Amino acid sequence: MTKNMSLIRYFILSLLLLCSPAQADVMLLIHGYLGDAYSWENSGINDELHQRGWSRAGMFQGSAYGPQLFVADHNDAKNLVYVATLPSETPVMAQSDVLKSIIDIIKQTHADQKIILVGHSAGGVVARMTLIRHQLKDVKALITIASPHIGTGRADQALDITANHGPFNMVKSFVGGSGYDALKHSRGLMYDLRHPQPGNMLYWLNSQPHPDIHYASIIRLNNNGASGDSLVPGFSQNMNNVPALQGRSSTFTTPTSHFLVRQDADTIISIIDRF
């Protein structure tokens, strides 16, 4: 009798597991420098994700005064995608505080679901800073695309270009136009994206303990097949080169430029399917 009861319990448990819906997830897409929430839409990534079962859930407009959420009708879909606009010209720590407030809202709305963070370029560093600085819970994975985890020489170039050289600064502003002005307003961020050295942000961030979640690095390949792109070297895009993350990140290479492309959705989905 005892044996029969055990078999019945085993059968019921197995049936319940088979009938239970798969755990749904929430994805939050984080743009890079001078991007915004529409970067994911304009690239075609959101459309491709939607076709692959990840429905648009809403857009956050983040600011120091608190985020605004514009909700999309997702018809009670299981897997959802949010996009966020951050103040991308500000230092990494300032952006991470805004991102934290956005994640708090997502967690309140989807209390039983895990969050997958996907960050492009500097957005990947911002996401990692948010994980560490705010000790985030309920995050399932961090996927970064062409992110400067070990810094980029372009940040040093930007700091040199925007250095104040007396009366010639006015000439640079006039000749450089809005691009120069954006760089000048972003000097704090550029300091954060310099190669790690004692005393700077990346040196501190890369030495901190990282949570036990999934990590994946999407690394660009340039035209000659070498790792990296014109803005961030391949070595820097690989989270395995972060001292605190050695060997913990899976890597995927994509032969395209630094900027987002529709095919990134395929890579993101293939990464998630491996979790």
Q: pLDDT of 89-110, one tens digit each?
A: 999 999 999 999 999 999 999 9
CATH code for position 70: 3.40.50.1820
- In DSSP terms, which residues pair with 210 in a beta bridge? none
In 3D, which of 142, 145, 148 has the Cα closest to residue 266? 145
DSSP secondary structure letters along 214-260: EEEEEEEB-TTS-BB-SSSBHHHH-GGGSGGGTTTEEEEEE-S-SS-
Domain-located, residue 7: no
- Residue 123 CB partners (closer than 8 Å, separation 6+): 30, 31, 32, 35, 86, 88, 144, 147
Q: How many domains does the chain have?
A: 1
Give kind and range of the element (H or E) at residue 7.
Answer: helix 2-19
pLDDT in tens, 108-159: 999 999 999 999 999 999 999 999 999 998 999 999 999 999 999 999 999 9
Asked if residue 173 is part of any domain, the answer here is no
pLDDT at 11: 44
> pLDDT 10s per residue in the chain (275 long)?
455 544 444 344 344 333 434 457 999 999 999 999 999 999 999 999 999 999 999 999 987 778 888 876 666 678 999 999 999 999 999 999 999 999 999 999 999 999 999 999 999 999 999 999 999 989 999 999 999 999 999 999 999 999 976 554 544 444 445 688 899 999 999 999 999 999 999 999 999 999 999 999 999 999 888 999 999 999 999 999 999 999 999 999 999 999 999 999 999 999 999 98
What is this structure's pTM?
Answer: 0.88
Determine the pLDDT at residue 166.
55
Q: Which domain holds residue 39?
A: 21-152+193-274
In a domain, 259, yes or no: yes
Residue 20: the pLDDT is 37
Is there a domain that residue 266 lies in? yes
Straight-line distance from the first to the last Cα atom of the chain, in angstroms, rounded to the nearest whole number: 41
R_g over Cα of the chain:
21
